[in-house]
Amino acid sequence: MPLSVRITLSSLVGLLLVAQTGCNMAPRRNLQQSQLRTRQLYNQNKTLAMDKAQLDRMAADLAAQRQQIEQQNDSLQSNLDVANQRLENLNAERSQLQQRYVSLLKQSKDQTNPLSDQLTERMKRLAEKYPGFEFDPRTGVSKFHDDILFTSGSAQLRSQAQPILRDFASIMNDPGAQELNILAVGHTDDVPIGKKRTKSKHETNQHLSTDRANSVLLTLAKFGVNDSRMGAAGYGKNQPLVPNIDEASRQRNRRVEIFVLAPDAVVAGWDPGTTERR
C-alpha cells in the first residue's frame, strides 16, 4: 500500500477517535453540574426549613408572652377597679363625716353649755391654770393646742400633757357630768408631712389628726372616763380656725377640740339610745 494512502487512513481514524471522545465528555460535565446544583438547592432548602422552624418557635413564644401580658393587664385592671371603688367609698364616708362635723359646729353656736355652773367654773379655772387650754363657757367646747399636748409630727402625748388631761378627766368624772358624752376632734395645719420617719407612722395630716384625737381619748380612759362616752374624729387641715398664712396662724390651727355633749345629742351617727353605760 502506498505511503500516502497509509497516512490518509491514519488521519481519518484519528479524527474519528477525537470526535467520539468529545461527544462523551459533554454529557458527563452537564451531569456533574446538575448534581452540584441539586446539592446546593438541597442545602438551601434545609437551611430555610431550619430558619422557618426557629421563626415558628419564636412566634409561639411571643404569642405565649402576649397572652400572659393580657392576663396580667386584666388582673391589674381588676385591682385598679377595686381600689377606685374603695377610694370612692372612703371619700363618700369622709364627706358624710365632714358634713356631720360642720353641722355640729353650726349647732355649737346656738347650743347652751351642758355643764352645770359648778363644773363650768372648774373648767374656767382649768383654762386659767393651763395657757394652752381654752374653754368656751357658752358652749362648753374645749380646745387643747397641740403645743401643750404633742411635739411636731407626733401623736404621742408629751409628759406635760398628763396633768391637764387628768384634771379634765376629773371634771368629766364628776357625778354632775357622768351622763355627758365627749367627742375629740383632731386638726392640723396645711403643711404636708414630709419627714420619712413621721410618714411611716402617719401617712397624711388626716391620719395624724385622727391619731392625736385617739391618743387624747385613750389617756382620758386611763384617767377613768368611760370609753362608751367618747368618740374621735380627725379632719387634718380641712377645718382651720384662721387662714394658714404664717407660723402663728398654723400654730392656732394645730389643735384637738373636745365637745362636751348632752345625753340626747346625736353626732356622727352616735345614737345615745344605744350607748351602753358600764
In terms of C-beta density within 10 A (0-12 exposed, 13-18 middle, 19 or more buried), how is residue 9 classed?
exposed
Residue range 243-261: mean pLDDT, rounded: 90
* Beta carbons of 231 and 184 less than 8 angstroms apart: yes
Average pLDDT over residues 70-97: 78
pTM above 0.85, yes or no: no
> Percentage of the chain with pLDDT > 90?
29
Domains of the chain, by residue range, sit at: 1-68, 113-274
Task: Find all residues with CB under 8 Å of 211, minimum gap 6, and list them.
Answer: 155, 186, 201, 202, 234
pLDDT tens digit sequence for 116-161: 999 999 999 999 999 889 999 888 889 888 778 988 888 899 888 9
CATH class of 113-274: alpha beta
- pLDDT confidence band for 67 (50 / 70 / 90): confident
Question: What is the reported pLDDT for 100?
Answer: 65
- Do 236 and 243 contact (CB within 8 A), yes or no? no
Mean pLDDT of 220-236: 92
Instruction: Convert the pLDDT of each residue in 13-31 to its tens digit.
Output: 444 444 444 445 556 777 7
